Amino acid sequence: MDSIIVQGGAELRGQIPIAGAKNACLTLMPATLLSEEPLTLTNAPRLSDIRTMTTLLQSLGAEVSSLQSGKVLAMSSHDINNHTADYDIVRKMRASILVLGPMLARDGHAIVSLPGGCAIGARPVDLHLTALEAMGADLDLRDGYVHAKAAGGLKGGIVDFRFASVGATENALMAATLAKGTTVLNNAAREPEIVDLANCLRAMGAQIEGDGTSRIEIQGVDRLHGATHQVVADRIELGTYMLAPAIAGGEVELLGGSLDLIGAFVEKLEEAGVEVTATENGIKVRRKNGRVKAVDVTTEPFPGFPTDLQAQFMAMMCTAEGSCVLEEKIFENRFMHAPELTRMGANIEVHGGTATVHGVERLKGAPVMATDLRASVSLILAGLAAEGETRVNRVYHLDRGYESVETKLGACGAKIERVKEQ
């Protein structure tokens, strides 16, 4: 098991390339199950979650080839010979549930294990299931598996999400492309990953309108064809690395980044006293003189402040001038990084879904433990500005969502290395 060691105090200067979005790619990959023709994804991130989805698709009979050092995924599902997504694979990653809608839409039956993933709350899949039931699916939950059937195929229907769930919107969107008739998704998620999926499905022949709004309308078609699609830039990786110079000092350009992807996040950065500028190749970020200012944050569905950037933003607030309140409204139990930051000298009080951060002048390096994907990178960011050495253990979480963190930060002057546990 690897650890990341950071020696704090080095300012960052240079450029960091932003990879394709993990959350988008994990959604796009199951779309191959909707067609017998090839689907090719470019700008794919090279992450352990992508490898897990590859294994899952291959277990169903899909062919998946990784080309150009993993940045291109060539997939073909001309022969789906297994319709059971097994627990041993699905338990590793929550996004595995996204094979349910495509298999059910294409072949009328599927058996999918209830998923696992990060330990950041219950994150039930009931919204996925009620959406499919609205399209005529017959579902039975037993022995930890969803047994789904749609005799005669799925039919268009009205889906009213009680919560704007990204995953449920994605599953329903894919399933609806092959349903008979028109499907309307109300209170749909509006994230860029939803728009990216819709663009890919349209390239495959789907008829979709309204993606990027809370009402998506899909006219089902008889079949989808092959396509080539470029994965959108990862807005969470983008926001994470934008915080790096804000925490450590210096100036960094994020290549391939776009302000359109993270508007609410940028507003909070600027409010804290961080300068953000669009460039010809991406986004340039630098901290203005002195400490950043404490800023209150409430996580919300897109276009609000992303829950996946809350832990990283908290790391910056630990050394901010003043006090602030971070309110988590998307997932419960998502402040597990707070006790680890406290080990580094942070002053944080957690009460239910809110965390009050009282800024201190400097953090001190310490051995800390990563509890989930975003928490792990927040500890690395904190270590950039901490006095002395920070050792982040259990970074296998990190590899699920960040590609070569130590290489990207090291190229900008960070004193960071990956070491093998003894």
Which tens digits make up the pLDDT trace of 95-122?
A: 899 999 999 999 999 999 988 544 434 4
Would you state the pLDDT for residue 165? 92
Is 23 annotated as a binding-site member?
Answer: yes
Distance of CA 45 to the CA centre of its chain: 12
Is 192 annotated as a binding-site member?
Answer: no
Cβ-based neighbours of 111, under 8 Å, separated by 6 or more: 83, 84, 85, 145, 146, 147, 148
**Does position 123 have pLDDT exceeding 80, yes or no?**
no
8 A C-beta contact, residue 278 and residue 256: no
Q: Would the CA dihedral through 82, 85, 87, 91 be positive or negative?
A: positive
Is 124 annotated as a binding-site member?
Answer: yes
- Closest to 413 in 3D by CA, of 244, 204, 281: 244
Decide if 2-19+233-420 and 22-230 have a common fold.
yes
Q: Which one has a higher pLDDT value, 373 or 422?
A: 373
Is 127 annotated as a binding-site member?
Answer: yes
- Closest to 166 in 3D by CA, of 1, 303, 297: 303
Domain spanning 22-230, CATH class: alpha beta
Tens-digit pLDDT profile for residues 367-397: 999 888 888 999 999 999 999 999 999 898 8
Active site residue 25: no
Is 123 annotated as a binding-site member?
Answer: yes
Mean pLDDT computed over 260-267 = 96
Would you state the pLDDT for residue 116? 56
- CATH code linked to domain 2-19+233-420: 3.65.10.10
Cβ-based neighbours of 331, under 8 Å, separated by 6 or more: 120, 121, 123, 307
Tens-digit pLDDT profile for residues 66-87: 999 999 999 999 999 999 999 9
Percentage of residues of the chain with pLDDT beyond 90: 87
8 A C-beta contact, residue 33 and residue 272: no
Q: Which of 118, 200, 318, 324 is catalytic?
A: 118
Domain boundaries, the chain: 2-19+233-420, 22-230
Give the H/E segment covering residue 340: helix 337-343
Would you state the pLDDT for residue 124? 66
Would you state the pLDDT for residue 422? 57
Which position has the token pair 């749609």?
A: 150
Give the 3-state secondary structure of residue 141: strand
